[in-house]
Structure 1
Amino acid sequence: MTAAAAAAAEVEAQSTEYWVFGYGSLCWNPGFEYTDSIIGYVQGFSRKFWQGNVAHRGTKEKPGRVATLIEDPQGFVWGKAFLLPDETAFRYLEMREVYLGGYEVHKVDVLSDDISRSVNATMYVATPNNIHWLGEVPIDQLATQVATCSGSAGHNAEYVILLARWERQYAPDHRIDAELAELEGLVNERLRERGLRPDDVLVGNRPTFSSMVPGKTLRCLNI
């Protein structure tokens, strides 16, 4: 096979693969089967905790806050891309995120830090017109909300703490999300003010939900 033919075959193979990029709880709790993964970053976006959550990390009376992305020409977001086993699994996730969750689809290139590997992945981003959108608030107010909310999947603070810890473990220093690190520090302060240690809000076994995909193991994600 010639070099040109090999390159064409690689492009064709990637076009039939189903990669999904996670930038929130998928990083440390994907909750579904995958056949490959890559830790890396996407450019042109910044992570913000502007999306409300009334099921997994909050309630209707006290909604929690989870991550979404906004377009930012100078931004980048560190996360993890997963290769789903087949189209059925991908379509189920798409239905859950887009049609039920109010997220929109972006196609992005996920690059490893040394740019030795790149995959084109689907990424789900919450939009301001979805019913759970909370929008921007001062970071002090954001930290207070996160430190005082919880839902069926656990404390909202757990979401922020585990995401920040995951990023410190896997992201190089120049890829660390400074805003996430600041939020984690403020959330920890709020917890201590309430007589809690950060580890007190961490749950070892989070609940999972059965997949509606026949014959597949793809659970709803506790975000």
Structure 2
Amino acid sequence: MVMWVFGYGSLIWKPGFNYDDHLVGFIKGYRRVFYQVLITEERQNSQWGMAYKITKKEDQEVALTYLEVREKQYDKKAYVDLFTEPATSAPAVSGVLVYIGSPDKKVNENYLGPASVEEIASQIARAEGPSGPNKDYLFQLEKALDFLGCEDKHVSDIAKEVRRILSEEEVTIS
């Protein structure tokens, strides 16, 4: 049995598990928002990212164990259809696993809620997590999406604002 995993954040450039193939594609009904480190939220949108095909049972077990730790801040898992062509209604792959953070503060303690681009950028410019500075994550995501040819206005607007904040801080320090 084949397993597919969809990544819309750092899994795009750093999956961290063995896989046999990958597809650039999107899932429908979700979008990337920075209301918790990074989540998808149900909307009438499409979410671009990378799907990884894992065929060997032992690789699947290792990947799932790894992802349960790496994606622990997300409170839901879903199995979704992956599309590779915007004009088609037929999915390229069905049953693709994706980790999701729901916008319900009662079940998702990491959910911060909507904020302006400026507020999100201000936090990202200064915050650091176990994997390093949040700004590095944001810039890597922006670069990976650009490389895939997948524009995400939310990501690019936040990245632009973080750069503005950082350049102002440099001028102040100089």
TM > 0.5: yes
The secondary structure found in structure 2 opposite 1:32 is coil
2:83 counterpart (88, 108, 111) = 111
Q: Is the 8 A contact 1:97 1:124 kept in 2?
A: no
Equivalent in 191, 194, 202 of residue 169 of structure 2: 194
Q: TM-score, normalised by structure 2?
A: 0.83
Equivalent residue for 2:99, pick from 120, 124, 148: 124
Within 5 A, what are the aligned runs for 1:64-75?
A: 66-73=37-44, 75=45
Q: Which SS does the other structure have where 1:182 is aligned? A: helix
Q: Tell me which amino acid in the other structure corresponds to 2:148.
A: Y
Alignment of 1:138-177 (within 5 A): 138-171=116-149, 175-177=150-152
Structure 1 residues without counterparts, runs of 5 or longer? 1-15, 52-65, 197-223
The one of 4, 16, 19 aligned to 1:34 = 19
Could you tell me which residue of structure 2 aligns to residue 96 of structure 1? 69
Q: Which has the higher contact order (CA 8 A, sep 6+)?
A: 1
Shift of 1:29: 1.2
Describe the superposition over 1:2-57 as per-residue Cα deviations: whole angstroms up to 9, x where unpaired.
xxxxxxxxxxxxxx211000000101111121111111111111111111xxxxxx
1:183 is matched with which residue? 158
Tell me how many residue pairs correspond in the alignment.
Answer: 162
Per the alignment, in what secondary structure is the counterpart of residue 11 of structure 2? Answer: helix
Distance 2:155 2:73 in 1: 23
CA distance in 1, matches of 2:63, 2:126: 34
User: How much identity, in percent, do the aligned residues show?
Assistant: 27
What is the RMSD of the two structures over their aligned residues, measured on CA atoms?
Answer: 2.2
Greater C-alpha radius of gyration? 1
Q: Distance in 2 between matches of 1:38 and 1:159?
A: 22
Structure-1-length-normalised TM-score: 0.66
